[in-house]
């Protein structure tokens, strides 16, 4: 049985509980991070913690633990659960108090929960065969740059993608692609340019996206930040997604239109290799 961290305690997963009055449960008043584990080590950890602070800051949520404590908790869970490859999920909510739209952050003790999921991340069906994407309208709220647990629309979007015979959905707002349900979206144009939309309140500033941009820049291939339509994506040479748990995931079709001959493209696979190699060098 897995060991889960809940508010200072390491407990068996069936004893891991939070209050029904928790604002994360009642109002989705919570933030989260997912850090991947390769070879028992944490990938991009400092960047995930920096984004946690940013999310908390944007919502006026207190973080009562130090970054050193957070690293120690991550490592303890990885070790207790023997995670070689997988993810550590961290969720922090504003805390539990009788239900009211109004709240006083100073009177609330944040809830902190972490658990692990062991699963292959490198040798996966997506990496080998790629993924099929469908487009859906982006009906999320206006602050998608904050990593909140308000994930109902992305979850329903992924269900719709599955019902339509695909693996995931890319969301479209104001005529341009924002991002995937749980990942950032990229295309490789027929001229070889790697393109992803710029950061704004409309998308999550992906940690994998930022790392990929930095590694590419260092290799002399910069990633262009500009908006693109779903039509441009369908006409691209390649497309791919980035996220902490998939790294770089090849896209082989969009709304039924095949890309790169229906198999993962060479630029995408090159970026995936670079990302894995470079992030392993920095793993904690």
Catalytic residues: 147
Q: Closest CB to ligand PLP among 111 and 243?
A: 243
Q: Which of residues 192-211 bind ligand PLP (CB under 6 A)?
A: 204, 206-209
Tell me how far CA of residue 73 lies from CA of 32, 79, 96, 117, 133, in angstroms.
15, 10, 22, 15, 36
Contact call for residue 243 and ligand PLP (CB under 6 A)? yes
Shortest Cβ 245–ligand PLP spacing (Å): 7
**By rule CB under 6 A, what string of x and - marks binding of each residue 104-133 to ligand PLP?**
------------------------------
To ligand PLP, the closest distance from the beta carbon of 260 in angstroms equals 22
In angstroms, give the least distance from the CB of 252 to ligand PLP. Answer: 20
Q: Which of 81, 184, 253, 260 binds ligand PLP (CB under 6 A)?
A: 184
Report in angstroms how near the CB of residue 123 gets to ligand PLP at its nearest.
19
Does 183 bind ligand PLP (CB under 6 A)? Our answer is: yes
Q: Is 148 in the site for ligand PLP (CB under 6 A)?
A: no
The conformation of residue 183, written as its DSSP 8-state character, comes to B
- CA-CA distances (angstroms) from residue 16 to 1, 29, 153, 178? 12, 19, 26, 36
Binding part of the chain for ligand PLP, among 111-119, 159-167, 176-184, 218-226 by CB under 6 A, reads 176-184
| CB-nearer residue toward ligand PLP: 3 or 116 | 116
Q: Which of 242, 260, 268, 274 binds ligand PLP (CB under 6 A)?
A: 242
User: Does residue 22 bind ligand PLP (CB under 6 A)?
Assistant: no
- Integer angstrom CA distances of residue 195 from 33, 112, 233, 243: 25, 36, 10, 16
Sign of the torsion angle spanned by Cα atoms 264, 265, 270, 275: negative
> Cβ–Cβ contacts within 10 Å for residue 248, how many?
25
CA distance 179 to 144: 10
Which residue, among 201, 269, 275, has the nearest Cα to 44 in the 3D structure?
A: 275
Residue 244 near ligand PLP by CB under 6 A: yes
Task: Report the C-alpha gap between 183 and 179 in whole angstroms.
Answer: 6
The radius of gyration of the chain from alpha carbons, rounded to an integer in Å, stands at: 19
Q: How far is the CB of 138 from ligand PLP (least distance, A)?
A: 10
The reply to whether 249 sits near ligand PLP by the rule CB under 6 A is: no
Cα separation of 16 and 5, whole Å? 8
Cα distance between residue 29 and residue 94, in whole Å: 6
Q: Does 90 bind ligand PLP (CB under 6 A)?
A: no
Residues binding ligand PLP (CB under 6 A): 34, 179, 182-184, 204, 206-209, 242-244
């Amino acid at each position: 049985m897995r060991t889960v961290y809940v508010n200072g305690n390491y407990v068996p997963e069936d004893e891991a509980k939070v209050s029904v009055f928790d604002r994360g449960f009642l109002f989705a008043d919570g933030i989260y991070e997912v850090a991947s584990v390769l070879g028992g080590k944490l990938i991009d950890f400092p960047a995930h913690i920096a984004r946690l602070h940013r999310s908390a800051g944007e919502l006026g949520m207190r973080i009562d633990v130090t970054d050193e404590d957070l690293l120690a908790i991550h490592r303890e869970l990885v070790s207790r659960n023997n995670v070689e490859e997988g993810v550590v999920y961290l969720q922090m909510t504003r805390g539990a108090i009788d239900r009211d739209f109004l709240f006083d952050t100073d009177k609330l003790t944040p809830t902190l929960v972490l658990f692990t999921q062991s699963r292959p991340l490198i040798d996966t069906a997506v990496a080998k065969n790629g993924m099929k994407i469908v487009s859906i309208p982006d009906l999320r709220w206006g602050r998608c740059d904050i990593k909140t647990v308000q994930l109902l629309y992305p979850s329903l979007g992924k269900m719709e993608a599955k019902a339509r015979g695909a693996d995931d959905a890319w969301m479209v707002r104001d005529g341009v692609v924002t991002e995937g349900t749980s990942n950032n979206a990229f295309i490789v144009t027929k001229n070889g340019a790697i393109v992803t939309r710029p950061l704004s309140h409309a998308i999550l500033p992906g940690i994998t996206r930022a790392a990929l941009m930095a590694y590419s820049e260092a290799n002399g291939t910069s990633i262009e930040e500009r908006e693109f339509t779903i039509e441009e994506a369908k006409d691209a040479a390649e497309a791919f997604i980035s996220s902490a748990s998939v790294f770089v995931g090849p896209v082989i079709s969009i709304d039924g239109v095949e890309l790169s001959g229906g198999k993962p493209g060479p630029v995408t696979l090159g970026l995936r290799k670079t990302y894995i190699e470079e992030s392993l060098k920095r793993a904690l």
